[in-house]
Structure formats: C-alpha cells, structure tokens
Amino acid sequence: MNVSLGVQLIASTAWVAVVVLLFIVIARAARKQPIKGLTSALIGLVIVALLMSTLGAGLVFIEPDELAVVITLQQGGIRPEPLGAGIHFVIPFVERVERFSILRQTYTMTGAVNEGQVSGDDSIQVRTKDGQMAYLDATVIYAINPAKAVDLYKTWRNGYEEGLVRPQTRGIIRSVASQFGIEEIVSSQRLNMEEQITAEMTQVFDENNLILVDFVLRNITFSDEYATAVEQKQIAEQQAQQAKFVVESKKQEAEQARQTAQGLADALVIEAQGNADARLIEAEAEAKALQMIANVIANNPDLLQYEYIQKLAAEIDIMLLPSDAPFILPQFGGLNSTTPSLTP
C-alpha cells in the first residue's frame, strides 16, 4: 500500500473537516450561541491537518521497479545517493523527487510505419564502403545504471532517450557500417559488424550512466536499383548453378554409359575367352579321340569296313560297285549267312 497517499488522504479529510467545522463555528457565533468547545475542536483539527499535510508531503513511496533522485534546496542541489524501493522521507517544500524506471527499456528505429518510437520511416540510412545505400532497422535494449542514477540526472535529466540513446545509436551504426561493403553487410560480415556496433555502444552507454543490454540489427534493405541488381544476380547464379547441375548430370550419365559399355566389352571378352578356351579344349579332345580312333584302325584294319557295313540300311542285300573300286568288301563270317557277297 502507498502509505504517503494514505497520509495525504487523511490530511485532505482533516482539512475538509476543518472547513465544515469553521462554517459551524461561524454560524453559531452569528446566532450568539456558545462556540468554546467547537473552537478547541477546530484548532485541534487544524493542527492535525497541518501535521498530516506536512507528513504526506514528506513521505515518498518508491515502487520496486523505480528509484528516485532527491532534488533539494540545500547545498549541492541534489542528494548524492538515490532512493531505492520503499518509504522515504524528504523535507516538505524543500525537497522533491525525480523518479526513474530501472526496468529495461526499448528504443526501435525502423522503416515500418507506427512500429518504432518515431512515426513514419525512421530507418538508419548508411553509405557503405563501396558507395551503396543501405537502410538498417535496429532496436536498442538498455537500462539505467542504478549506481549512477544521480550522475545521469545531472547530465541528461529525463532527456537521455532523445539526447543520448537515439543519436549515439544512429551515429555508431553509420560509422561502423561504412567500413563494410554492401555484400559483406548482408552476408559474411554481418555478425562482425553487429559485434563492433555492440562494443562501441556498450562503451558509450557506460560512459553516460546507462547499461546496454542488447543491440538487435533487425533488417537491412537497399535502394530499388540495387535490389533489382541483386535479384538479377541471384537469378543468374541460380541459372549457373542449374547449368552446372545439368553438366554434372550429363557427366554422370556419360560415366555410367561408359562403365556400362566397359562392362559389356569386358563381358564379351570374357565370353570370347571362355569360348576360345572351350573350343581349344574341345579341339584337343577331338584330336585325342581321332588319335585313338586312328590307333584302333591301325591295329584293326577291317574295323573300318565293318563300321561301314553297319551303317548300311538293313534292307540292302546287294551293292554294285564300279569296276575300278579301290577295295572289295569280303563276306564277314560274323555277318548274317543270308547276306550275299559284294563283288564288283
């Protein structure tokens, strides 16, 4: 509960009672009625009202998320230490307090309408190292340094946001970003740029009794001409990548075809080699068989004629041979006795 407001409420009530009682006293005095007891009550109420008013004016309740700097008419004009959360007493009508929130505060500068502290386009215009224009959206999260609240009040009063946070942030961003090229800002060096901006802002804020909690580089946009150029470049790069992919695909297909052809050729070679080896084996077997037949015939000359006769059809009884036939087939004893002799 805010005790100082309660005391002030009591003081206000006492003053109302004083006014009412005063009218009663005046009315009774006009009627020449006794007012001795009422006068004492009136004086008592006035004293109570004065005490409550004085006490209410001197009691100060500081919320848990606040601290207060005491402004005084005494030497120095300001108390050296701020007031923390709780109930405090200041000298009525001689001292007053200036309250500061110790919560984290956010200041946003953006091109989005009605989003930041400034209505309209409040993005930070930056000229990069290579002469391109970039527009940066940024948010600063900061807080008052409680130990240096008195110094902050002496330096900035309540104007530290517009007098320090905004101009210092915009100036540091422009200074750091101008050291990078446009492509570096949007790609490889963006994180490095953010780290440099944060480091410089931390130092500046600390020197001015503030604490930088975080710096957020929210968005980067470009001029319409450069955005078109970037888009065309990206399209060209995508097309080049697509062409490269097609070439690689064709190479892979060609390699697969070559490997398939090589496999077929190897298979044909293996098959031909197998056929050749088989034919050689077959030829060697035939040669051996013929050699064996020749050896048998050489040892049995009549065997050939016997095999010849065996191949004749069964119904042949007579065979006529020309007179100049090189051989005569004699009658074999082992043949059927009905088989006639064959003579020329």
User: Tokens at residue 110, please?
Assistant: 């953006």
If one counts every other C-beta atom within 10 angstroms of the C-beta of residue 89, the result is 13
Considering the domain architecture, whether residues 151 and 118 belong to the same structural domain is answered as yes
Considering the domain architecture, whether residues 188 and 271 belong to the same structural domain is answered as no
Considering the domain architecture, whether residues 260 and 215 belong to the same structural domain is answered as no
- The count of structural domains within the chain is 3
Count Cβ atoms within 10 A of the Cβ of residue 317 and give its class: 0-12 exposed, 13-18 middle, 19 or more buried.
Answer: exposed
Is 325 inside any structural domain? no
In this prediction, residue 337 carries a pLDDT of: 41
User: Tokens at residue 178, please?
Assistant: 């101008």
User: Tokens at residue 166, please?
Assistant: 């905004």
Confidence of residue 165 (pLDDT cuts 50, 70, 90): very high
User: Tokens at residue 207, please?
Assistant: 């020197």
pLDDT of 335 above 50? no
CATH code, domain carrying 178: 3.30.479.30
The model's pLDDT over 12-54, given as tens digits with 9 standing for 90+, comes to: 888 898 888 888 888 888 887 777 777 888 888 888 888 888 8
- What is the C-alpha end-to-end distance of the chain, expressed in Å? 155
If one counts every other C-beta atom within 10 angstroms of the C-beta of residue 165, the result is 23
Considering the domain architecture, whether residues 148 and 179 belong to the same structural domain is answered as yes
**Residue that is last in its domain, among 172, 200, 222:** 222
The model's pLDDT over 102-130, given as tens digits with 9 standing for 90+, comes to: 999 999 999 888 888 888 889 999 999 98
3-class state of residue 26 by DSSP: helix
The answer to whether 182 touches 134, Cβ cutoff 8 Å, is: yes
In this prediction, residue 197 carries a pLDDT of: 96
Query: What mean pLDDT is predicted for residues 133-150?
Result: 95
Reported pTM: 0.61
Q: How far is CA 2 from the centre of its chain?
A: 48
Considering the domain architecture, whether residues 17 and 124 belong to the same structural domain is answered as no
Is 343 inside any structural domain? no
Dihedrals phi, psi of 316, to nearest 5 degrees: -80, 120
What sign results for the dihedral spanned by CA atoms 307, 311, 316, 320?
A: negative
In this prediction, residue 11 carries a pLDDT of: 82
**Residue that is last in its domain, among 52, 79, 101:** 101
Is 80 inside any structural domain? yes
pLDDT of 329 above 70? no
Is 116 inside any structural domain? yes
Residue 218 lies in domain: 105-222
